[in-house]
Amino acid sequence: MTSTRRAFLHTAAATAAAPQTTSPNNKIQLGVIGCGARSQEVMRDLMATGSAQIVACSDAYQGRMERTQERVGQHVRRAADYKEILAARDIDAVCVVTPDHWHRQMILDALAAGKDVYCEKPMTYRSGEGGEIIRAAASSGRMLQIGSQVVSSAAQIEARGMVQAGKIGKVTMVRASYNRNSASGAWIYPIPPDASPKTVNWDMFLGPAPKRPFSLERFFRWRCYSDYSGGIATDLFVHLCTGIHYVLGAKAPARVVALGQLVRWKESRDVPDTLNALLEYPEGFAVNLSCSFNNQTTAESTFQFMGTEGTLELAGGLNLYPERSWEDNRWIVESWPTRLEKEYWKDPKNLQHPPKRVAVKPIPTKGENSGVAHVRAWLESIRTRKPHWEDAAVGHRAAACAHMINLAAKEHRAVEWDFAKDDIKA
């Protein structure tokens, strides 16, 4: 046994509620709960780290587990129920990549079983679940990391450093958006030809959701239905809010207003395809979030951090736009009596000239794929027992932004955050 492996086992034994093991090659042994399209990407990223081995999977559709074995290896065990994975003593940690309505229960069960957890965003289906998960993670001693990979991108990391160094002055406004223009972008996904009650475990999918008749549309397009998802806000705005909180060091908005509409993709759906929100932060900046599934003229995802001395824009890269502001009072003083205007221009400080146009400055960023970097950080946390920045508290507040937006849009009112309670104000 190597000294590295011996140290890892000693640390795990000291902090876990249940025994943890690793393979002879010192790779962290993983179980994957939920094997859909996003999960397949997460598994690809995990394998790319070279530090983990996927040994078991569970999904309500047989075809996804079949594809997992094809992609990862036939050694991967199929579990009929996710609790089989939690009970397995040869599994160190689990990835929860399921519809949102399952996150709370699966996270709590995994922590109680002594497993470290990686959960795709949003952490919660309802804001009130956040506090319970935070407390469970703290008492269990396990590493819980939320999967909003944007904060592990080289551009976001560079932007955070530039803002903290004052490179764009005081940030007072952030504009961020997600825009798409396709059926797939609106989550109207193709359904596998072999999908049927024989290959899809409907009851397993529903879990804590309202009981409804078997529906392939609801199963494979679950993001379109409020029974299982918060739509645009929880699927896309959570990424934007997580990035904003990371770059600006913020926790949660004090107040939110929003409007949501369903204007085009009206079949097989009950969540908006167009959403706009305004968020006000106590740190002294405002956020404008927007999403349309009906137009995409720029990069799918964009951020603009607007400061008093410049703007940082993230849209496939990182660009710095220096400010060109100047005081132009000529049109004002020309309305004064001539004698007063002449006196005004005698003062040298009033004789300002337009600043020269400054070219946009692309900021070079280097780093591995953000998805790989993000899961690598989680695996490192498992070994070091030091939590990643995107822990349960961060995941709770980013998801809460989405819940506030949905509530504001639904009830046509401003929704406020209770910082003392760390939850939406009643």
* Cα 151-157-159 angle, rounded to 5 deg: 110
Q: pLDDT band at 22, cuts 50/70/90?
A: low
Do residues 161 and 247 make contact, with C-beta atoms less than 8 angstroms apart? no
Q: So where are the chain's domains? A: 3-151+372-391, 154-324+356-368+397-424
Sheet holding 301-307, edge to edge: 361-362, 318-322, 310-314, 301-307, 171-179, 285-292, 274-281, 255-261, 415-418, 423-424
120 pLDDT more than 90: yes
Q: pLDDT band at 147, cuts 50/70/90?
A: very high
Phi-psi region at 187: left, alpha or beta (left = phi > 0; alpha = psi -120 to 50)? left
Among 124, 43, 108, 55, smallest CA distance to 85 is for 55
Do residues 77 and 56 make contact, with C-beta atoms less than 8 angstroms apart? yes
Q: Which helix (H) or strand (E) holds 246?
A: helix 238-248
Q: Residue 160 contacts by C-beta under 8 Å, 6 or more apart in sequence?
A: 246, 247
Among 384, 392, 369, smallest CA distance to 117 is for 392
DSSP code for 336? S
Q: pLDDT band at 357, cuts 50/70/90?
A: low
Among 376, 362, 321, smallest CA distance to 155 is for 362
121 pLDDT more than 80: yes
CA distance 309 to 322: 6
Query: Locate tokens 């070091």: which residue?
Result: 384
Q: Are strands 318-322 and 361-362 parallel, antiparallel or unpaired?
A: antiparallel
Architecture (CATH level 2) of domain 3-151+372-391: 3-Layer(aba) Sandwich (3.40)
| Tokens matching residue 272 | 């908006």
12 pLDDT more than 80: no
Please give the CATH number for the structural domain made up of 154-324+356-368+397-424: 3.30.360.10
pLDDT in tens, 60-111: 999 999 999 999 999 999 999 999 999 999 999 999 999 999 999 999 999 9
Q: Which helix (H) or strand (E) holds 83?
A: helix 82-87
Among 42, 107, 124, smallest CA distance to 373 is for 42
Do residues 227 and 101 make contact, with C-beta atoms less than 8 angstroms apart? yes
Do residues 59 and 34 make contact, with C-beta atoms less than 8 angstroms apart? yes
Do residues 300 and 179 make contact, with C-beta atoms less than 8 angstroms apart? yes
pLDDT score for 369: 92
6 pLDDT more than 70: no
Identical fold for domains 3-151+372-391 and 154-324+356-368+397-424, yes or no, is no
Q: pLDDT band at 352, cuts 50/70/90?
A: confident
SS3 content of the chain, % helix, strand, coil (to 5): 40, 20, 40
Is pLDDT larger for residue 142 or for residue 317? 142
Say whether 118 sits in a helix, a strand or coil. strand
pLDDT in tens, 240-281: 999 999 999 999 999 999 999 999 999 889 999 999 999 999
Do residues 372 and 45 make contact, with C-beta atoms less than 8 angstroms apart? yes
Q: Residue 303 contacts by C-beta under 8 Å, 6 or more apart in sequence?
A: 159, 174, 175, 176, 240, 243, 244, 247, 312, 313, 314, 315
